[in-house]
Structure 1
Amino acid sequence: MKGADLYDDPDFLAGYQRLRREGLGLNDELEIPAMAALLPPAAGLRVLDLGCGEGGLAQRLAVGGAVGVLAVDASAAMLATAVRHPRIRYRQSDLATLELTPESFDLAVSSLVLHYLEDFDGLVGRISRWLAPGGRFVFSVEHPVVTAPLEAADGRLDDYADEGPRQRKWFVDEVTKYHRTVSSMVGTLRRHRFQLAAVEEPQPSEEQVRRKPHLSIHRRRPPLLLISAGLQS
């Protein structure tokens, strides 16, 4: 099942919403704090949120003073329950075909979405056109050491050099993710005039593991990769 359809599948959506409701994912403990640390101050910025889901990141940026947030997601089900804010506009669109006005944003963000996208190079190229000179792109993905194995094997690094689709069971069978190496992602950003500002691999502290033992696997290898890059003039 591809990313554009995934969150509209009722079985997947129920599992995902239960995960978030019960705090069993990585979002609250790792991804949200790590993303916040990389983001520039939102005040006065025009923001594009790619794969916004239920709008949590878009809301935080709007509350932080963004003059406007265009929040895009392919899932009608996710957008139906998205948080509302006067400075957030929601749009239903597949990121693979999204087209926007050049130089209309100062900041593009994406939270745990781009590992579902087949054409990373194509999207990064479009983002470089949508951002104004000096704009920033900040995103998180599932870490390549996790996506790498052709056969799911948590805690074992394998097949790292072989980029491409991977089939995983996550609430439903045959969820399609796309594995890319770190160097491949960095190279793509550089080709499209982005300069690396930060690379982060957040992992839980020992205290977090004591509070939430299900996080212990993530002490063995990093579950997430976050990158911040600025668009060169």
Structure 2
Amino acid sequence: MRKISLIGIGAGDPDHLTLQAAKAIGRTDVFFLLDKGELKQSMIDLRERIIRGYSKPTRRMVTGRDPDRDRTPADYEGTVEDWRHRRALVIEEMLLEHLREDETGSFLVWGDPSLYDSSMAILDEVLARGTIAFEYEVIPGISSVSALAARHRAPLNRVGRPFQVTTGRRLAEGWPEGVDDVVVMLDAQQAFTAYPDVDIFWGAYVGTPDEILRSGRVSDVADEIVETRTAAREQHGWIMDTYLLRRPAP
């Protein structure tokens, strides 16, 4: 039976790699890499450094082209569903062509495969199509959320109180009900600026040499974060940022 590992490799620091992930990389026969067309050389270098450092000499690497996706669709859920389907077809073809019986293939996933990542859903779709059979395991990784909280020394929750992880698109629709602590990912529109009276713990490129951290009351630091984010994106050609918003204690 073919086997596949979805391996979380952390938010960008090579030391984020867990022992479980390192062992999974070491038993991999084929690494399947999807070129998103937006990864910059620093991220490519880190991924290749991890593979070289922990894989066996006989391992193979196969690269496929990730399908393009509309980032500002009118029908967000329908667009994501269509993109996942097209991605499943690409992955299915890669597996059929390059993963032999009794071999193990791996996908390296930034952060953690269970948090705002489609890898599990896509592999389930490939399995459901029935053209190729395999077993797969999921190796958890250090997410950008965990890395952000650690770098700011800011717990995600307060005693006896919940927190919520959401997206910038959702935050722009309104503050989530029932929580005072909100972690926001995938925010291209900087929705935090609509909440001047809360505290923000913001980070970009967390865990990498380019890491940027800012914190304070939104009304005091919003302009600086917006300017810093814009400049960093222009400099690097891409940006990954995450932040925690915290209402004052009642």
Higher Rg of the two aligned structures: 2
Q: What's the TM-score once normalised by structure 2's chain length?
A: 0.34
Q: What's the TM-score once normalised by structure 1's chain length?
A: 0.36
Greater fraction of residues in strand = 1
Larger RCO (CA under 8 A, 6+ residues apart): 2
